[in-house]
Structure 1
Amino acid sequence: MLIKNGKIFTMAGQAFECGSILVKDGKIVEIGENIEVSDDEVIDAKGGYVIPGMIDAHTHIGGEEENMGFEGHDINEMTDPVTPHLRALDGVNPVDGAFRKAVKAGVTSVLTGPGSANVIGGQFIAMKTQGNCIDDMILKEPVAMKIAFGENPKRVYNAKGKAPMTRMATAALLRQTLTETKNYIGKKKKAEEKGEFFEINLKYEALVPVIEGKIPLKAHAHRADDILTALRIAKEFNVPITLDHCTEGHLIVDKIKEAGVPALVGPTMTFSTKIELTNKSFRTPIELIRAGVKVAIITDHPVIQIEHLPLCAAYAMKEGLTFEEALSTITINAAEIAGISDRVGSLEPGKDADIVILDGSPFEVATTTLYTIVDGKVVYSKCE
């Protein structure tokens, strides 16, 4: 496939006013101003915007299904506050109608997984939005371990009359489980050295990659004090972490910058339904970015429908983000934070050919998607 005559934004430090992209075997082979090939499928972008497939780095797509109610709600196992062994892989329905909307909007990759009812909710996955078999759509599994602070775990378990009913208990349960995981790792190693039988515990096994620094804690935290508790615990156990939602991040920019962790900001384009959202603002991304914090903008689908991801970034532009900064929050930044930038997030030779062609800026409400291409195949065309 050859895409030609496009205004290409590679998100890799280079842009082309009228460029071409050559794709072979699902990968990007070459990007330049004049690429001549024969016997290939040719798409004429006709001056349209050509961008990397967009990435939503925090959703519950496929697990909180459209038009389903309880029957399609598979993101919150509200029976135990500590469920690290739950896998999004087992709860995401790839034929959820929201995936078709994502593809049409140009969102080609997502992170999806458990909700925020539990202190430790389970494993998130990174996946493509096109396909009908979840196993074939995976980019990285697991990609992160979901944890939650603040009002949600308190509300769920207060109704059940059990811990955590306070923020103190939420932190304590997380510390206890991480400590037990470290002890588990030590005991398992000793048993293996002695050649002795060791009983596997799936809860602790799921947390081993976190303790080993292979995947981050994905921390649901809105209020500034909850963000600081998340950072405090991550530092205590020397584990990686991302700050998801980060609603009051603009109030403690210096602390987030000092910690050197990324922020996934959103959902901001919503009504403030609870106390911890009081200070929600589209100023948050720009203040964090100006301080040097890596930021992705998220929808938390279905809180905001996933097709509105570029609109969320557009609202941040109203507060001062540049075009490139806004686009980075839903492409390369999201990919780098998720640890999948070797495959997606920018248009570069060797990366997956996930490409979106638009008839205008992705941040204009009236802009239409002309083509969505995933792994080198046209999966949506306005002409069809």
Structure 2
Amino acid sequence: MTARLKATLVAAILFALPALAPAADPAYASTYRAPASGPVLIRNATVLDGNGQRLDGADVLMREGRIVAVGAGLQAGDASVVDGQGKWVTPGIIDVHSHLGVYPSPGATAHSDGNEITSPVTAQVWAEHGVWPQDPGFGAALAGGVTTMMVLPGSANLIGGRGVVLRNVAATTMQEMKYPGAPHSVKMACGENPKRVYGGRGQSPMTRMGNLAGYRAAFAEAQAYRRKWDAYDASQSSSGGRAKKGEPAAEPPARDLRMDTLADVLRGEITVQIHCYRADEMALMLDLAKEFGFKIAAFHHGVEAYKLADRLAEENVCGALWADWWGFKMEAYDGIQENIALVDRPENGCAIVHSDSSEGIQRLNQEAAKVMARGERVGLSLPPERAIRWLTSNAARAIGIADSTGSLDKGKRADVVVWNGNPFSVYAQAERVYLDGALVYDRKDRARQPVTDFMLGQEVAP
């Protein structure tokens, strides 16, 4: 065969082969782009850095969407200068338990997209597929200093589906809000909610016994599913994806969207967030996690978390809690107002103030102030530099984004709030909110305040 003929045949074969597809992007990938921003220097403010430090008379320099430096006497000739005299500066607030977008305003039945109650285990549903970016609640939360939130499904199910971390920016699509690189979460719920929802229909679970049996059955199924996929992936890796001569190509296991989520929980790729009130049930859930080999990131609501605060700290589990909600159902009966303060153990404690409310998210700083007051009444020292972590760095830790936000460390996202005074005062207001270094809210400039269709014609309170 001549060289020319050989080349012609090779070219013909290559032309006949289909082009290799590029590697697929993650499903429903983030298309978030940081808002345009110039360098900003906030001068001579009281700074709470989110790591437990308070700096008086300090400056904060932001450039290209990142924190450049925090300290005294910073210089940046090309930066816009903000006078921080008498102001306080903190990292942007992070809410780890929000339903904005899936239970948006106005509160109509047509807007109710948070609970897929068709089965006790709906791990296949994703909250992000129900988020409505035009929810006016996002703008109201921004006015309260909230720059990031984890939006979760509701708590009717044993396993209610995946949560999503969102940046608090005006957007048309959920993908434009989705926090780049943030892990998914899975929402679980103990106690009264699932047994009331399904027991009331004559279904399982009807009892707390049924709740635990339901979790165990789901994770046992997920273990078997994971083993099948791990074995298939290992065989493909060892063979380079090629079948042995004379043998058919290996078929992948049948895909199950419910099990996809739970298998990734077992692999440690999805954080576990559990709605759980009573201490005895939290202890059961910690044992469930040990039985199946996954890690719980946080217990949410947990009005009895104070009863096992030492164990939570030892096992590196956060408590995402309310300041003073209690008593509205039997499992919430034994709450105390010192709960968060007691969970905030000096050694590895991880206490968080969360909202679970479209109203509460607007004043998380005031909710934290309640905790400070109650804790100090029983002799605990809870200065502002400690309390701010309940809204910032601890929240970032529970979500899995502490490497990029939650504190004013050099190189982290420039999510910054300028307050008119001590943020834990009842008179505190967020005057300016920066997200990735861009001014996205200014209380004194109506042009820098979010507007949605449902707020048109309504006056915003000063």
Contact 2:229 2:252 in 1 (8 A): no
Alignment of 1:136-151 (within 5 A): 136-139=176-179, 140-151=181-192
Map residues 296-315 of structure 1 onto 2, 5 A cutoff: 296-302=352-358, 305-315=360-370
Distance change >3 Å, CA 288–CA 14, structure 1 → 2: closer
Matching residue of 1:243: 299
Q: 1:342 aligns with which of 403, 407, 410?
A: 403
Find the counterpart in structure 2 of residue 135 from structure 1: 175
CA shift, 1:151, in A, is 0.4
Corresponding residue for 1:155? 196
Contact 1:220-1:244 within 8 A present in 2 as well: yes
Which amino acid is the alignment partner of residue 262 of structure 1?
C
Q: Is contact 1:253-1:291 (8 Å) kept?
A: no
- Residues 1:178 and 2:219 aligned together: yes
Aligned position for 2:117? 78
The whole-number CA distance in structure 1 between the counterparts of 2:421 and 2:393 is 20
Question: Does the C-alpha gap of structure 1 residues 149 and 13 become closer, same or farther in structure 2, counting only changes over 3 Å?
Answer: closer
Mapping 1:1-384, distance limit 5 Å: 1-132=40-171, 133-139=173-179, 140-192=181-233, 193=235, 195-241=250-296, 242-266=298-322, 268-270=323-325, 272-290=327-345, 292=347, 293-302=349-358, 305-320=360-375, 321-384=382-445
Give ranges in structure 2 of 5+ residues lacking alignment.
1-39, 237-249, 376-381, 446-462
Inter-partner Cα distance in structure 2 for 1:276 and 1:44: 48
1:182–1:376 Cα change, 3 Å:
same
Contact 1:124 1:142 in 2 (8 A): no
Gap change, CA 1:382 and 1:87, over 3 Å in 2: same
**Partners in 2 of 1:155 and 1:119 — Cα distance?**
11
Return the structure number with greater strand share: 1
Asked if the contact 2:326/2:335 (under 8 Å) is kept, the reply is no
Code of the aligned partner of 2:216: R
Please, what TM-score do these two structures have when normalized by structure 1?
0.95
CA distance in 2, matches of 1:20, 1:143: 35
> Structure 2 CA distance, aligned partners of 1:155 and 1:353?
44
Residues 287-315 of structure 1, C-alpha deviations (whole Å, 9 max, x = no match):
1223742111111123x521121111111
Q: Alpha carbons of 1:225 and 1:291: their partners in 2 closer, same or farther (altered >3 Å)?
A: farther
Task: Name the aligned partner's letter for residue 125 of structure 1.
Answer: V
Partner SS state of residue 252, structure 1: helix
Q: Which structure 1 residue ranges, 5 or more long, are not aligned? A: none
Q: Show structure 1 runs of 4+ deviating over 6 A.
A: none
- 1:216-244 per-residue CA deviation (whole Å, 9 max, x = no partner) reads 32111001222112111011112110211
Counterpart position of 2:10 = none
| Identity among equivalent pairs (%) | 33
In structure 2, how many angstroms separate the alpha carbons of the residues matched to 1:317 and 1:14?
17
How far apart, CA to CA, are the structure 2 residues paired with 1:290 and 1:12? 15
State the shift of 1:58 in Å: 1.3
Contact 1:116–1:152, Cα closer than 8 Å, also in 2: yes
The whole-number CA distance in structure 2 between the counterparts of 1:141 and 1:64 is 22
Describe the SS at the equivalent of 1:310.
helix
Change in Cα spacing, 1:13 to 1:154, as seen in structure 2 (3 Å) is: closer
RMSD (CA atoms): 1.7
Match of 2:344, SS? helix
Structure 1 residue 69 displacement after superposition: 2.1
Q: Distance in 2 between matches of 1:255 and 1:54?
A: 27
Give the match for residue 12 of structure 2: none
Q: Deviations over 1:264-302 (max 9, x none)?
A: 112x44463211111122211121223742111111123
